[in-house]
């Protein structure tokens, strides 16, 4: 890609790299060439001092101290040679310094080699001579004089050499400084150019893309990128434009789908509202025409249909019963009543047909859906709407669902009615059984006594025998009256759900108030559930036992306890501190105990009579509330009652 941003930035970075490397190399080279100048300058400066030391040695030397003075001068000359040709100076000279440095150094070197050094060597030669003569002294003096005449110019040349070295070193430092400034300026220019390129080719396209992205984030897919160059960001802008175009199409499609789903959701909400309203109406109120007409009105409000009708009938019936309707007219034509209901009842399936309106004569559509629960059909739901209107599938399914709810409500109503009928039949059977076990036996006994009395009267029996018979009759009548009163009291007890303990508490309070006997009552039946028949038997056994305690036990206190464990085993205990009963066989023939025993057997339990811990008698009833004998006994008794 010729106009690639990566390539451009690579070139800029490469240039910066080249500039940086060039600057570093130039600095290294200049620093390398300038290295040693300071040492050379110092070394050159020592040449001047060394010259003055040699001169001083010559001036203060005498003929009488020839050896010492010669040796000292010789050492200074040797040292001067070493300094003049030292590596410090030679290193700078070998690096190719400026022409002035080379010329001044060569001049100092020639003057030393050609003039100064030979003169010093001659001086040292005469200075070391053994014989002291006037010629020697003259020669030494001449050499000293010559050296003094040459040394000033020689030192000036050395000074010019040092100055040349300093100028050359300063020039190299200046070159390094200028090079660094130039490189810094070039780097700054490159940075400015880079920033400009970044702003133009990176930041501007990125800002444009960010603006487009923010607009797209807020749902505006009409924006497009303006930077469509051939570099990477340009291609990204082109890709964004394509993406925005695709998103605008997808978004428009999504909006259409959302609107469609919104309509479906609103329709579902209305459907659920209708189903909830219909279910609430059908469950909260007694099923009747008013409730069903209210359900039909709800259908009309939701679906916009004209009216509705509910008919009771089965497929194949010639005549159906119009149970509820919101239509001001009948669908069938009264002049042709035969076989018209088959149009509505159909074959037990949902269907639509057309009939002529009795008011206008125009054709209207009728949608018929069966009101059935599982396999049982109770009738049909008829919905009337104009011929221009077509029911959608969801509307048909909704009407079928409403019809099924109506069928379920009818089924529940029938089950409640049947349950009430069975409850009434069971209550009647309980009353009949209680009458049979108490009043009927007493009446049979009275019938026998009346027959004996008639026989005694017909045989002109003695008055004593007649009075005995009438006393028996009176006692039996009193017993029958007492039993009747006990039954009426029992049947008047209102035993609501889970209130058996309260009913027994009422019975105990009644006997305690009537007799003045202290009766302790313990209720531990918990949440055990009893059938109505079992409740009657338990109450009657307790009443019979308390009645016997009051009439025969001569007790001062008594107790009634009810217990029921987790397995459903029920224990009813009635005890007293009275005189008790000596013979159980004789006991079973008196005080209504056989009837109590029979009631216990009807409960599928056992009745035992033992001595109480209080000192009297204890009557203990035990049975299981889950025993099926109770249901079987009730069922057989109902069957006997029906057969009678």
557-576, pLDDT tens digit by residue?
A: 899 999 988 888 999 999 99
Query: Distance (Å, rounded) from C-alpha 378 to C-alpha 568?
Result: 42
- Residues 206-222 as b/e (b if ≥16 CB within 10 A, e otherwise) read eebbeebeeebeeeebe
Q: What is the DSSP string of 36-89?
A: THHHHHHHHHHHHHHHHHHHHHHHH--GGGHHHHHHHHHHHHHHHHHHHT-HHH
Q: Is the pLDDT of residue 201 over 50?
A: yes
Q: Is the pLDDT of residue 433 over 70?
A: no
Tell me: the pLDDT tens digits for 503-556? 888 888 888 888 888 899 999 887 788 887 788 888 888 888 888 888 888 888
Q: What integer best gives the mean pLDDT of the chain?
A: 78
* The pLDDT value given to residue 129: 66
CATH class of domain segment(s) 282-399: alpha beta
Indicate the DSSP class of residue 212: H
pLDDT band at 498 (very low <50, low <70, confident <90, very high): low
* The pLDDT value given to residue 264: 82
* The pLDDT value given to residue 636: 45
Q: Is the pLDDT of residue 208 over 50?
A: yes
Tell me: the pLDDT tens digits for 56-107? 887 776 544 556 777 888 888 888 888 888 888 888 787 777 788 888 888 8
Query: Distance (Å, rounded) from C-alpha 459 to C-alpha 520?
Result: 54
Classified as helix, coil or strand, 130 is coil
- For residue 627, the tally of other CB atoms under 10 A from its CB is 17
Q: Is the pLDDT of residue 16 over 90?
A: no
* The pLDDT value given to residue 407: 84
Q: Is the pLDDT of residue 374 over 80?
A: no
Q: Is the pLDDT of residue 346 over 90?
A: no
* The pLDDT value given to residue 133: 63
* The pLDDT value given to residue 644: 40
Mean pLDDT is lowest, of 130-134, 249-253, 324-328, 543-547, for 130-134
Which of 165, 160, 158, 162 lies closest to 48, judged by CA?
158
Which of 378, 418, 420 lies closest to 292, judged by CA?
378
Residue 341: phi, psi to the nearest 5? -70, -20
pLDDT band at 601 (very low <50, low <70, confident <90, very high): confident
Burial (0-12, 13-18, 19+ Cβ within 10 Å), 577:
buried
Segment holding 307, helix H or strand E? strand 307-312
* The pLDDT value given to residue 38: 78
Tell me: the pLDDT tens digits for 327-342? 877 665 544 455 567 6
Contacts of 212 (CB under 8 A, 6+ apart): 223, 224, 225, 240, 244
Q: Which residue has the higher pLDDT, 129 or 416?
A: 416
* The pLDDT value given to residue 441: 66
* The pLDDT value given to residue 446: 75
* The pLDDT value given to residue 266: 83
Query: Distance (Å, rounded) from C-alpha 640 to C-alpha 479?
Result: 27
Q: Which residue has the higher pLDDT, 485 or 240?
A: 240
Q: Is the pLDDT of residue 296 over 60?
A: yes
* The pLDDT value given to residue 643: 46
Pairing of strands 606-611, 617-624: antiparallel
Domains of the chain, by residue range, sit at 5-204, 219-281, 282-399, 494-644
Query: Distance (Å, rounded) from C-alpha 42 to C-alpha 49?
Result: 11
Q: What is the mean pLDDT of residues 432-445?
A: 68
* Residues 321, 345 contacting (CB under 8 angstroms): no
Tell me: the pLDDT tens digits for 254-282? 888 888 888 888 878 878 888 888 888 87
* The pLDDT value given to residue 638: 42
Mean pLDDT is lowest, of 199-213, 295-309, 349-363, for 349-363
Q: Which residue has the higher pLDDT, 633 or 627?
A: 627
* The pLDDT value given to residue 634: 46
Q: What is the DSSP string of 585-596?
A: HHHTTSTTHHHH
Q: What architecture is domain 494-644?
A: 2-Layer Sandwich (3.30)
Tell me: the pLDDT tens digits for 22-63? 878 877 776 666 666 778 788 888 888 888 888 888 777 654
* The pLDDT value given to residue 623: 92
Q: Is the pLDDT of residue 248 over 60?
A: yes
* The pLDDT value given to residue 587: 44
Q: Is the pLDDT of residue 629 over 70?
A: no
Indicate the DSSP class of residue 152: H
Residues forming beta bridges with residue 522, ordered by sequence position? 561
Q: Is the pLDDT of residue 425 over 60?
A: yes
* The pLDDT value given to residue 640: 43
Q: How far is CA 227 from CA 4, 203, 206, 219, 240, in A?
A: 14, 11, 9, 21, 11
Q: Which CATH number fits domain 5-204: 1.20.120.230, 2.60.120.10, 3.20.20.140, 1.20.1560.10?
A: 1.20.120.230
Percentage of residues in the chain having pLDDT higher than 70: 83
Q: Output the six-digit token pair for 41.
A: 């300058």
Percentage of residues in the chain having pLDDT higher than 90: 3
The size of the chain, in residues, is: 644
Query: Distance (Å, rounded) from C-alpha 604 to C-alpha 590?
Result: 23
Residues forming beta bridges with residue 368, ordered by sequence position? 351, 382
Q: What is the mean pLDDT of residues 357-384?
A: 80
């Amino acid at each position: 890609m010729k106009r690639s941003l990566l390539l451009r930035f690579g070139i800029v970075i490469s240039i910066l790299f080249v500039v940086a490397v060039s600057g570093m190399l130039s600095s290294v080279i200049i620093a390398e060439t300038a290295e040693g100048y300071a040492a050379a300058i110092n070394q050159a400066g020592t040449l001047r001092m060394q010259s003055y030391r040699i001169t001083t040695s010559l001036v203060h030397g005498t003929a009488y101290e020839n050896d010492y003075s010669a040796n000292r001068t010789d050492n200074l000359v040797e040292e001067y040679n070493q300094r003049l040709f030292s590596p410090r100076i030679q290193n700078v000279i070998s690096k190719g310094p400026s022409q002035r440095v080379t010329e001044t150094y060569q001049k100092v070197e020639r003057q030393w080699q050609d003039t100064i050094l030979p003169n010093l060597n001659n001086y040292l030669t005469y200075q070391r001579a053994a014989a002291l003569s006037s010629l020697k002294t003259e020669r030494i003096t001449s050499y000293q004089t010559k050296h003094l005449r040459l040394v000033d110019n020689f030192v000036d040349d050395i000074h010019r050499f040092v100055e040349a070295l300093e100028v050359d070193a300063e020039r190299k430092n200046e070159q390094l400084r200028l090079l660094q400034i130039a490189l810094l300026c070039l780097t700054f220019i490159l940075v400015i150019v880079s920033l400009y390129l970044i702003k133009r080719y990176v930041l501007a396209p990125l800002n444009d893309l960010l603006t487009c992205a923010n607009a797209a984030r807020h749902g505006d897919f009409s924006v497009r990128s303006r930077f469509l160059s051939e570099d990477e960001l340009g291609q990204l802008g082109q890709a964004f434009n394509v993406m925005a175009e695709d998103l605008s199409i997808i978004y428009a499609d999504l909006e259409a789908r959302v609107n469609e789903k919104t309509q479906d959701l609103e329709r579902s909400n209305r459907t659920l509202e209708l189903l909830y309203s219909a279910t609430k109406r059908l469950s909260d109120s007694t099923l009747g025409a008013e409730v069903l007409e209210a359900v039909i009105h709800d259908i009309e409000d939701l679906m916009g249909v004209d009216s509705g009708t509910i008919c009771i009938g089965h497929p194949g019936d010639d005549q159906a019963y119009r149970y509820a309707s919101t239509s001001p007219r009948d669908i069938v034509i009264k002049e042709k009543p035969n076989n018209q209901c088959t149009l509505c009842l159909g074959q037990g399936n949902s269907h639509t047909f057309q009939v002529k309106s009795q008011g206008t004569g125009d054709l209207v559509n009728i949608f018929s859906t069966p009101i059935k629960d599982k396999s049982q059909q109770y009738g049909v739901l008829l919905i009337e709407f104009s011929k221009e209107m077509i029911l959608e599938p969801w509307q048909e399914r909704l009407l079928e669902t409403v019809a099924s709810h109506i069928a379920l409500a009818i089924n529940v109503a029938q089950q409640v009615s049947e349950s009430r009928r069975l409850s009434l039949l069971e209550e009647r059977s309980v009353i009949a059984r209680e009458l049979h076990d108490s009043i009927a036996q007493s009446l049979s006994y009275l019938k026998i006594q009346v027959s004996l009395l008639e026989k005694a009267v017909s045989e002109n029996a003695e008055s004593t025998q007649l009075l005995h018979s009438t006393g028996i009759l009176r006692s039996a009548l009193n017993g029958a009256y007492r039993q009747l009163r006990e039954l009426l009291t029992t049947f008047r007890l209102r035993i609501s759900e889970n209130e058996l303990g309260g009913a027994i508490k009422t019975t105990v309070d009644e006997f305690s108030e009537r007799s003045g006997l202290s009766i302790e009552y313990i209720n531990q039946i918990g949440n055990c559930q009893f059938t109505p028949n079992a409740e009657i038997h338990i109450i009657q056994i307790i009443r019979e036992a308390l009645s016997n305690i009051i009439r025969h036990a001569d007790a001062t206190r008594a107790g009634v306890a009810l217990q029921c464990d987790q397995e459903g085993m029920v224990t009813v205990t009635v005890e007293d501190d009275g005189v008790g009963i000596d013979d159980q066989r004789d006991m079973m023939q008196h005080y209504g105990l056989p009837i109590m025993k029979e009631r216990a057997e009807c409960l599928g339990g056992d009745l035992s009579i033992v001595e109480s811990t209080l000192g009297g008698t204890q009557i203990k009833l035990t049975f299981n509330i889950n025993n099926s004998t109770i249901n079987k006994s009730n069922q057989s008794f109902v069957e006997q009652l029906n057969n009678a």
